[in-house]
């Protein structure tokens, strides 16, 4: 039925108008309109009741609203009065502030006047004080008076008469005092009178000659360094016999080059420590950097001379030339040792000490200069210039360049020492009956350890990285080739014992011990370099170089594993008969046969006894790691063969034999996982899962192994699972086929 006007209005609509009534044409529309009208009436009645219930609250609210204007009138009066008070206070504050500003201005003018009066009095005192001090030759007091006058500047310009008179007198005294100080300083320098040299150098600052005074004082300190260096160099130049006689006669000392250079560095460091407070007190904060820079330049002169003398005295350059010629002859296959490497050890040790002490000295003066600038709030004049760093010193001094050149020679000599020492260790290789390795392994790694320790003692990251790279090259090429050649020769019966198998195992032991030594060398380097190199960039360099040793160790392990596999192949023919025992054993047992097998095992006892005899000579001649590695390879081969044989047999029991076999191999190769990364149980994992399947009571129980979690760990495919279950005599083929795997 179509909705009429009443239904369109809804229950909340207002009452219909007359024209809507005329539109009603049937009884249903009239009823709907009536119902809407009644609902509207009920709603209006309810609203009226609610309004009547809230009448008291509305009346109370209206009464409160009517009281508000009465209450606001007193507040309005108080607000007006407060506004008047605030206006008056503001006017009074402005008047007081104006008077205070006037007072401040007056006080400032009074203070300026007082200061000028004090300056005038100071000038008078300076004039009279200078005259008295000059008469008494008290130059320090006279200089302080002149310094005070110079700091006053134009403060006494208001008194032209006083200014002209005082200025003339003080300028005359200033010029006279400057002349006296310069003359006295020259006399002190000629007489080598150190107390007066210091005294008159320090008088330059109050006379307004700070930079000149600092330069003269720096030259004085440079002379002290030069005197000490001359003594050191003279001591180094004396013939050894003369030195020994002089020492015995005078109780003096004989200096080595390392001690002489260290003494020079310590002398300069002592000057810096002693003079810093004095210099900064008289010449100002940051002035010590000028002194350090001068000392650095003076040190360059003498330290480079000491290094040059050391190079000449040790014939270092001639050694380098001999080594280069020797390398050329070696390429022509007519090589002979240019220098006995044992003769280089002392020279290399000394170079390492020289570089270490130079590194410490250089770090000390740069740190001290940088701290001086930071404390003074200064920065270098040319911080971005390549010859200047944030310490204000020369970035690469003559000493730095000389030491870098010497370290280049050191690396060349160390390389020769390393290579020739390794060759001698190989040439002198021998084997004793009590040992399962040859002597060269210990000798070679003793040489490499000596080289790393010496390189660490230089405290030079570039040299250290170069030596570590050389060690890696030696291990990966020279030494590895020696081991591979020995493997080839010893397998042909050319080893020390004459037994090719025993000699071959000795080389394998050499490789295994070499792996351990490489890792130990790496661990020692990591432990010691962290205490020496603290700069992040240097640490990253070292980390990269040391990591290469780990890769070298992995290469040796791979070489070892490949050759152990070759050894295992030689004993494979002896393993085949043992597996044939398993193929011949019947595993479809009744109760009587099962009881008999429990007493007299026909398989496990025979195979373990056979393997014991097979492994005996290897256990005697191999290291523990190599023996475990070989056994592990054999285990893998046996597990693979047993699995193939297993699929050719029928079973109603097998798991006990497998557990006994796994237990045996675990006891034989308890450290195999360290070499191969896989345990004995891991190698027998597939067989163990096969045994578990063969041990099931019903075919349906296999689904307990085949849930989502177990499927991830099961090493058998669905086809292999069905194939294994088919080996059980009791399991029907149709039950196996119905499995949903």
How far apart are the C-alpha atoms of 425 and 345, rounded to whole Å?
Answer: 16
617/122: higher pLDDT: 617
Range of 47-51, 548-552, 723-727 with top mean pLDDT: 548-552
Per-range mean pLDDT, top range of 1-5, 100-104, 590-594, 661-665: 100-104
The closest alpha carbon to 621, from 584, 547, 582, 567, belongs to 567
Mean pLDDT within 651-676: 66
pLDDT class of 242 with cuts at 50, 70, 90: very low
Structure-token pair, residue 517: 């030594």
β-bridge partners, 587? 651
Range picked from 33-47, 327-341, 414-428 for highest mean pLDDT: 414-428
Look at residue 389 in the predicted model and tell me its pLDDT. 46
What burial letters (b/e) apply to 570-603, b meaning 16+ CB within 10 Å?
A: ebeeebeebbebbeebebebeeeeeeebeeebeb
d(CA 236, CA 240): 9
SS3 of the chain: helix, strand, coil, percent, to 5: 80, 0, 20
pLDDT of residue 188: 74
Span 7-30, average pLDDT: 60
How much is the pLDDT for 232? 92
Cβ of 464: how many Cβ atoms within 10 Å?
25
Look up residue 670 and give its two tokens.
């308890």
Given a cut of 60, whether residue 7 has pLDDT beyond it is no
8 A C-beta contact, residue 468 and residue 453: no
> 424 near 418, Cβ under 8 Å?
no
| Residue with more model confidence, 599 or 646 | 646
Percent of the chain whose pLDDT exceeds 90 = 22
Q: How confident is the prediction for the chain on average, in pLDDT?
A: 78
Give the mean pLDDT of 656-685: 69
* pLDDT band (50, 70, 90) for residue 243: very low
Task: State the Cα–Cα distance between residues 211 and 206, nearest whole angstrom.
Answer: 11
pLDDT at 596 over 60: yes
The reported pLDDT for the residue numbered 653 is 61
pLDDT higher at 358 or 386: 358
Residue 301's closest CA among 386, 198, 196, 397?
A: 397
How much is the average pLDDT of 560-584?
82
Mean pLDDT of 547-565: 92
What the block records as the tokens of 245 is 């006689």
pLDDT, one tens digit per residue, over 212-240 is: 778 888 888 888 899 999 999 999 887 75
pLDDT at 155: 45
pLDDT of residue 738: 76
* pLDDT over threshold 90, residue 135: no
Question: What is the C-alpha separation between 604 and 317, in angstroms, rounded?
Answer: 72
* pLDDT at residue 547 greater than cutoff 80: yes
Give the whole-angstrom CA distance, residue 479 versus residue 425.
10
Q: How confident is the model at residue 65, as a pLDDT?
A: 77
% of the chain exceeding 70 in pLDDT:
74
Per-residue confidence band for 6, with pLDDT thresholds at 50, 70 and 90: very low
CA angle 533/537/543 to nearest 5° reads 70
pLDDT for the residue numbered 407: 93
Greater confidence, 141 or 365?
Answer: 365
Average pLDDT over residues 361-385: 73
Please report which confidence band the pLDDT of residue 247 belongs to, taking 50, 70 and 90 as the band edges.
very low
Q: How confident is the model at residue 421 (pLDDT cuts 50, 70, 90)?
A: very high
Greatest mean pLDDT range, 61-65, 170-174, 367-371: 367-371
pLDDT for position 557: 92
Half-sphere exposure of 118 (CA within 13 A, CB side): 8
Mean pLDDT of 89-103: 86
> Rounded to whole angstroms, how far apart are CA atoms 666 and 605?
15
Q: Which residue has the higher pLDDT, 295 or 688?
A: 295
Pick one of 3.30.420.590, 1.20.58.1970, 3.40.50.150, 3.40.50.460 as the CATH number of 587-624+645-738. 1.20.58.1970
Q: Picking from 194-198, 337-341, 607-611, 667-671, which range would have the lowest pLDDT averaged per residue?
A: 667-671
CA-CA-CA-CA dihedral for 40, 43, 49, 52, to nearest 10:
-80
**Which has the higher per-residue pLDDT, 116 or 16?**
116
The model's pTM: 0.68
Kindly state the DSSP code that residue 159 receives in the 8-state scheme: -
The reported pLDDT for the residue numbered 8 is 40
Query: Binning pLDDT at 50, 70 and 90, where does residue 124 land?
Result: low
pLDDT at 387 exceeding the cut of 60 = no
Structure tokens at 649: 């047999």
For the chain, the structural domain boundaries read 28-118, 255-379+391-428, 587-624+645-738
> Tens of pLDDT along 40-72?
888 888 888 888 887 778 778 877 777 777 777
pLDDT (mean) for 452-463:
92
Maximum mean pLDDT: which of 184-188, 532-536, 560-564, 667-671: 560-564
Judge contact between 326 and 338, C-beta under 8 A.
Answer: yes
């Amino acid at each position: 039925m179509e909705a009429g006007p009443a239904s369109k209005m809804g229950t909340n609509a207002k009452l219909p108008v007359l024209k809507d009534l005329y539109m009603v044409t049937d009884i249903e529309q009239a009823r709907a309109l009536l119902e809407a009208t009644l609902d509207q009436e009920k709603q209006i009645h309810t609203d009226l009741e609610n309004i009547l219930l809230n009448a008291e609250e509305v009346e109370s609210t209206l009464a409160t609203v009517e009281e508000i204007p009465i209450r606001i009138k007193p507040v309005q009066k108080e607000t007006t009065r407060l506004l008047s008070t605030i206006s008056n206070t503001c006017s009074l504050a402005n008047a007081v502030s104006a008077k205070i500003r006037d007072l401040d201005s007056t006080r400032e003018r009074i203070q300026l006047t007082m200061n000028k009066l004090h300056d005038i009095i100071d000038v008078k005192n300076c004039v009279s004080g200078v005259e008295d001090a000059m008469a008494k030759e008290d130059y320090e007091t006279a200089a302080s008076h002149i310094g005070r006058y110079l700091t006053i500047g134009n403060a006494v310009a208001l008194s032209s008469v006083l200014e002209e008179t005082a200025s003339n007198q003080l300028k005359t005294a200033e010029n006279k005092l400057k002349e006296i100080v310069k003359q006295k300083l020259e006399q002190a320098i000629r007489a080598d009178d150190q107390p007066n040299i210091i005294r008159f150098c320090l008088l330059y600052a109050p006379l307004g000659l700070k930079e000149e005074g600092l330069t003269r004082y720096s030259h004085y300190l440079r002379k002290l360094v030069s005197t000490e260096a001359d003594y050191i160099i003279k001591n180094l130049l004396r013939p050894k016999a003369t030195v020994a006689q002089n020492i015995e006669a005078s109780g003096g000392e004989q200096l080595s080059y390392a001690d002489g250079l260290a003494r020079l560095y310590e002398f300069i460091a002592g000057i810096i420590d002693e003079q810093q407070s004095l210099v900064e007190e008289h010449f100002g904060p940051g002035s010590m950097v000028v002194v350090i820079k001068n000392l650095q330049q003076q040190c360059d002169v003498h330290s480079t001379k000491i290094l040059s003398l050391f190079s000449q005295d040790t014939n270092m350059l001639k050694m380098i030339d001999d080594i280069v010629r020797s390398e050329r002859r070696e390429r022509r296959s007519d090589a002979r040792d240019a220098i006995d490497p044992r003769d280089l050890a002392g020279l290399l040790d000394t170079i390492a000490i020289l570089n270490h002490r130079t590194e410490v000295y250089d770090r000390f003066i740069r740190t001290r200069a940088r701290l001086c600038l930071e404390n003074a709030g200064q920065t270098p004049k040319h911080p971005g210039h390549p010859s200047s760093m944030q310490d204000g010193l020369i970035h690469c001094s003559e000493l730095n360049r000389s030491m870098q050149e010497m370290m280049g020679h050191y690396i060349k000599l160390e390389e020769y020492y390393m290579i020739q020492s390794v060759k001698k260790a190989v040439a002198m290789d021998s084997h004793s009956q009590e040992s399962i390795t040859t002597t060269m392994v210990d000798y070679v790694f003793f040489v490499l350890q000596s080289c790393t320790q010496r390189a660490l003692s230089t405290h030079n990251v570039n040299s250290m990285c170069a030596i570590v790279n050389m060690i890696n090259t030696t291990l990966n090429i020279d030494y590895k080739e020696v081991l591979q050649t020995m493997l080839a020769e010893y397998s042909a019966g050319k080893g020390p014992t004459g037994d090719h198998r025993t000699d071959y195992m000795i080389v394998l032991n050499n490789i295994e011990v070499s792996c351990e030594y490489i890792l130990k060398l790496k661990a020692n380097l990591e432990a010691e370099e962290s205490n020496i190199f603290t700069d992040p960039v240097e640490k990253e360099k070292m980390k990269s170089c040391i990591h290469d040793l780990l890769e070298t160790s992995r290469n040796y392990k791979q070489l070892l594993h490949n050759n152990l596999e070759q050894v295992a192949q030689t004993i494979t023919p002896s393993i085949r008969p043992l597996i044939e025992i398993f193929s011949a054993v019947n595993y479809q047992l009744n109760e009587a046969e099962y009881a008999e097998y429990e007493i007299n095992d026909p398989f496990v006892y025979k195979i373990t006894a056979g393997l014991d005899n097979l492994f005996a000579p290897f256990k005697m001649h191999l290291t523990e790691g190599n023996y475990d590695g070989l056994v592990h390879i054999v285990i893998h081969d046996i597990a693979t063969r047993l699995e193939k044989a297993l699929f050719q047999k029928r079973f109603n029991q097998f798991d006990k034999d497998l557990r006994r076999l796994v237990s045996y191999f675990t006891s034989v190769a308890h450290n195999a996982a360290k070499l191969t990364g896989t345990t004995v149980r891991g190698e027998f994992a597939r067989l163990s899962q096969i045994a578990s399947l063969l041990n099931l009571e019903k075919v349906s129980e296999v689904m307990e192994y085949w849930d989502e979690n177990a499927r991830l760990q099961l090493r058998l495919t669905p086809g292999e699972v069905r194939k294994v279950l088919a080996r059980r005599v009791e399991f029907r083929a149709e039950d196996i086929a119905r499995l949903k795997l």
